[in-house]
Amino acid sequence: LRVAIIGTGNMGSGLARRSVRAGHEVVIGSRDPERAASLGAAVGARGGDYASAAAEGDVVILAVPWWSIDSVLPLLGDLSGKILIDATNPVMDETGALQQLRGSSGAEEIAREAPRARIVKCFNHIVADVIHLDRSMQQRVTAFLCGDDADAKQIVARLAVDLGYDPVDVGALSCARLLEPMAALLLGLTRRGTVPADRAFALVPVGPGS
């Protein structure tokens, strides 16, 4: 897959590194193409601006702050038919508290702004520290995902497997209303130090013989 990653922060760099390790062709997009190029050089990817990265990707992973979405989405160019993975969380400030989107979710708001993209919510509830771990993880991490396009979800599920995660399709894009609070819960716990930063959600079999 050609994986375009939008944003060079904690999530973008981790997802870029993991995607390269998984054997994918990765192009990183930044507001500053030089920053994308130097991150690219560090992880084995190419770099460019948002538009060129998005144009190249079979999948485009959105790894920018929620408050930047209105300015970033128009810079991505024509997303018609593209798979847009929404790894963001609608947090408004450093506390990590979710913005209350009554009857909606960050992913659904993005879908309204990018109606031609095939949006899949995924990776938003896996903390960046875990994304940055190498593949010697002690436990399989669950990557919950949701979206309205079944084919797009299958492709994202395969990408999640390649990155070392167990994908679980939780349903329509509106199920992002469930996945975004999971991220707020876990990020809050790790930021307060209640749990170490290498914690993640994992659905594990617990029944006898399961």
Ligand X SMILES: NC(=O)c1ccc[n+]([C@@H]2O[C@H](COP(=O)([O-])OP(=O)(O)OC[C@H]3O[C@@H](n4cnc5c(N)ncnc54)[C@H](OP(=O)(O)O)[C@@H]3O)[C@@H](O)[C@H]2O)c1
**Residues at the interface with ligand X (CB under 6 A):** 7-12, 30-32, 35, 63-66, 68, 72, 87-89, 91, 124, 127-128, 183, 187
CA pair distance 15, 41, nearest whole angstrom: 15
| Least spacing, CB of residue 171 vs ligand X, in Å | 20
Nearer to ligand X, 66 or 144 (CB): 66
Nearer to ligand X, 120 or 187 (CB): 187
| Least spacing, CB of residue 210 vs ligand X, in Å | 29
Q: CA-based angle 138:142:147, to the nearest 5?
A: 160
Nearer to ligand X, 5 or 151 (CB): 5
Nearer to ligand X, 91 or 141 (CB): 91
CA pair distance 16, 70, nearest whole angstrom: 23
CA pair distance 155, 147, nearest whole angstrom: 12
CA pair distance 140, 148, nearest whole angstrom: 26
- Contact yes or no for 146/108 (Cβ under 8 A): no
| Least spacing, CB of residue 123 vs ligand X, in Å | 7
Nearer to ligand X, 142 or 210 (CB): 142
Cβ-closest position to ligand X: 9
| Least spacing, CB of residue 209 vs ligand X, in Å | 35
Nearer to ligand X, 41 or 81 (CB): 41
| Least spacing, CB of residue 94 vs ligand X, in Å | 10
CA pair distance 38, 45, nearest whole angstrom: 9
CA pair distance 119, 139, nearest whole angstrom: 28
Residue 180, Cα to own-chain centre: how many angstroms? Answer: 12
What's the residue count for the chain? 210
Q: Which two tokens stand for residue 187?
A: 């990020």
| Least spacing, CB of residue 63 vs ligand X, in Å | 5
